[in-house]
């Protein structure tokens, strides 16, 4: 027999919310006044306006409710979650996939709230990870920075397409048309300069070795129409650059209390300061929410799912979809680490030869996530690289010993290993 830690105790006073854009349906379940095993249930509907949600909090306080459960419905869950959290309730945000209705069961907002309340009072669901307010603010900024950088990249692509339409082949000669030399040439085009020789002379430093190619690249049909569009695009890029700089300054101010953690994460190959900011914003600096590194990897969907039936593994090795912002930064860190002469770099190259590059990126990303968990769990922990030869020196040696022992056993010998003096 095996002792389990399942807690079947019913939560005495609990509430569940079915949240929409305009209304919140709240179901409250509590003990019967007579002390019998029957439960009392009441359902009310509230507006999602702040004053109505305050009335909801007052009503739940009067009933002695201790836990409030709600589904993660778009962004509509945030106002009631934040308000009830500030009111002192234990608020649980749960995954909607964990609270699916039984087949054939009627579905309304009221029935959804009742079903969620019945499931939650028996402890049949788990809360999702919602970081504290300070980390949520940091997360909003780092995610907005990603969106701004993406928008700037799309605007730069529009500039390159516009130059192609005008038969200006600057991107063929210059690796970055938005560098110092390239930007000076683009501004000159907007100002009305069309002479290829004059435009090429704006090149600086190493670009001046490509003057003949630059002159040839500016032989095209750049018109006033192209100049008008290019001016708007460059202005948009400048605005985005200013916005990104402002957001990054705000991130630096909010990340200051976690500067020591950022420094430790920056020591990991492939993880820079910006990536460390994103990691802390997505998982927070407090690892007590994740008992082990495996729990963190499972939450981030960097661990393959288990699907077994009748003794057969029916899983395809897929990890599923997790936090896309965290997955992006871990993937970029894994690719960066793959180019280094470190343990992570050697691990990537070894797995890429055997399983392919995509699976190698996921595996190295999980290794990085494991390192992050250990560094954030112990403030005195520091990163120490095992070296690119670690696998060959340790795992390879143990494998050779196992193979030799297995061969001797097959020949009928009993083997006892004793280290050499």
Domain ranges of the chain: 14-128, 134-254
What pLDDT is recorded for position 244?
A: 96
The kind and range of the H/E element at 82 are helix 78-86
Report residue 369 as tokens: 């996530």
Q: How far apart are CA 366 and CA 317, in angstroms?
A: 14
Contacts of 111 (CB under 8 A, 6+ apart): 105
Closest by CA to 169, choosing from 230, 214, 203, is 214
What distance, in Å, lies between the first and last C-alpha atoms of the chain?
A: 47
DSSP string spanning 160-189? HHHHHHTT--HHHH-S-TTSHHHHHHHHHH
The whole-chain average pLDDT of the chain stands at 87
CA dihedral 392, 397, 400, 401 (to 10 degrees): -170
Which whole number is the average pLDDT over 319-331?
84
Confidence of residue 247 (pLDDT cuts 50, 70, 90): very high
CA–CA distance, 78 with 139 (Å, rounded to integer): 14
Q: Tell me the two tokens of residue 50.
A: 């702040």
Nearest CA among 417, 325, 363 for reference residue 131: 325
pLDDT of residue 417: 81
What pLDDT is recorded for position 314? Answer: 62
18, 107, 118, 129, 206 from 95: Cα distances, Å: 13, 18, 16, 10, 55
pLDDT score, position 4: 45
d(CA 331, CA 276): 13
pLDDT score for 75: 83
54 vs 315, higher pLDDT: 54
Which pLDDT tens digit goes with each residue over 74-93? 888 888 989 989 888 889 98
**CATH architecture, domain 14-128:** 2-Layer Sandwich (3.30)
Give percent of the chain above pLDDT 70. Answer: 92
Q: Region 375-388: what's the mean pLDDT?
A: 87
Residue 226 has pLDDT above 90, yes or no: yes
Task: Look at residue 233 in the predicted model and tell me its pLDDT.
Answer: 96
pLDDT for 156: 95
For residue 375, name the pLDDT band (cuts at 50, 70, 90): very high
pLDDT at 139: 92
Binned at pLDDT 50, 70 and 90, residue 127 comes out as confident
Mind listing the pLDDT tens digit for each residue in 89-124?
A: 889 988 877 777 666 677 788 888 888 888 888 878
pTM of the model: 0.82
The mean pLDDT value for 213-231 works out to: 92
Name the more confident of 167 and 396.
Answer: 167
- At 236 the three-state DSSP class reads helix
pLDDT band at residue 248 using 50, 70 and 90 as cut-offs? very high
Q: How far is CA 185 from CA 95, 160, 192, 195, 214, in A?
A: 52, 13, 11, 11, 10
Q: Which residues lie below 8 Å from residue 119, measured CB to CB, with a gap of 6+?
A: 99, 125
Q: What would the pLDDT profile of 29-74 be if each residue is shown by its tens digit? A: 888 887 777 788 889 999 989 899 999 999 999 888 889 998 887 8
How many of the other CB atoms lie within 10 Å of CB of 23? Answer: 13
pLDDT at 257: 92
């Amino acid at each position: 027999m095996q002792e389990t830690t399942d807690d079947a105790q019913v939560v005495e006073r609990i509430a569940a919310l079915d949240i929409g854009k305009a209304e919140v349906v709240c179901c409250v379940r509590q003990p019967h006044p007579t002390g019998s095993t029957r439960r009392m249930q009441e359902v009310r509907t509230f507006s999602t306006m702040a004053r109505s949600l305050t009335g909801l909090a007052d009503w739940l306080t009067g009933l002695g409710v201790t836990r409030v459960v709600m589904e993660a419905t778009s962004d509509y869950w945030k106002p009631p979650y934040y308000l009830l959290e500030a009111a002192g309730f234990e608020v649980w945000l749960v995954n909607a996939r964990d609270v699916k209705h039984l087949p054939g069961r009627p579905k309304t907002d009221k029935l959804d709230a009742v079903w969620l309340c019945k499931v939650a009072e028996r402890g049949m669901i788990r809360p999702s990870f919602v970081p504290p307010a300070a980390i949520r603010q940091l997360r909003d900024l780092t995610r907005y920075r990603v969106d701004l950088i993406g928008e700037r990249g799309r605007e730069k692509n529009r500039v390159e397409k516009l130059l192609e339409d005008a038969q200006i082949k600057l991107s063929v000669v210059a690796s970055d048309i938005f560098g110092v030399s390239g930007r000076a040439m683009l501004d000159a085009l907007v100002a009305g300069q069309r002479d290829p020789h004059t435009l090429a002379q704006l090149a600086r430093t190493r670009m001046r070795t490509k003057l003949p190619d630059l002159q040839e690249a500016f032989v095209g049909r750049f018109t006033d129409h192209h100049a008008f569009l290019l001016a708007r695009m460059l202005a948009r890029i400048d605005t985005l650059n200013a916005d990104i700089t402002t957001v990054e300054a705000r991130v630096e101010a909010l990340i200051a209390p976690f500067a020591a953690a950022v420094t430790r994460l920056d020591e990991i190959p492939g993880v820079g300061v910006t990536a460390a900011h994103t990691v802390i914003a997505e998982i927070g600096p407090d690892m007590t929410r994740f008992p082990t590194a495996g729990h963190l990897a499972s939450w981030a969907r960097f661990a393959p799912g288990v699907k077994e039936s009748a003794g057969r593994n029916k899983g395809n090795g897929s990890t599923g979809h997790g936090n896309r912002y965290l997955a992006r930064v871990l993937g970029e860190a894994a690719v960066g680490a793959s180019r280094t002469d470190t343990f992570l770099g050697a691990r990537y190259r070894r797995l890429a030869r055997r399983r392919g590059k995509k699976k190698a990126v996921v595996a190295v990303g999980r290794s990085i996530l494991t390192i992050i968990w250990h560094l954030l769990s112990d403030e005195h922990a520091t990163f120490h690289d095992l070296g690119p030869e670690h696998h060959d020196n340790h795992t390879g040696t143990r494998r050779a010993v196992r193979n030799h022992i297995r061969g001797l056993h097959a020949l009928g010998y009993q083997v006892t290993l004793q280290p050499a003096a």
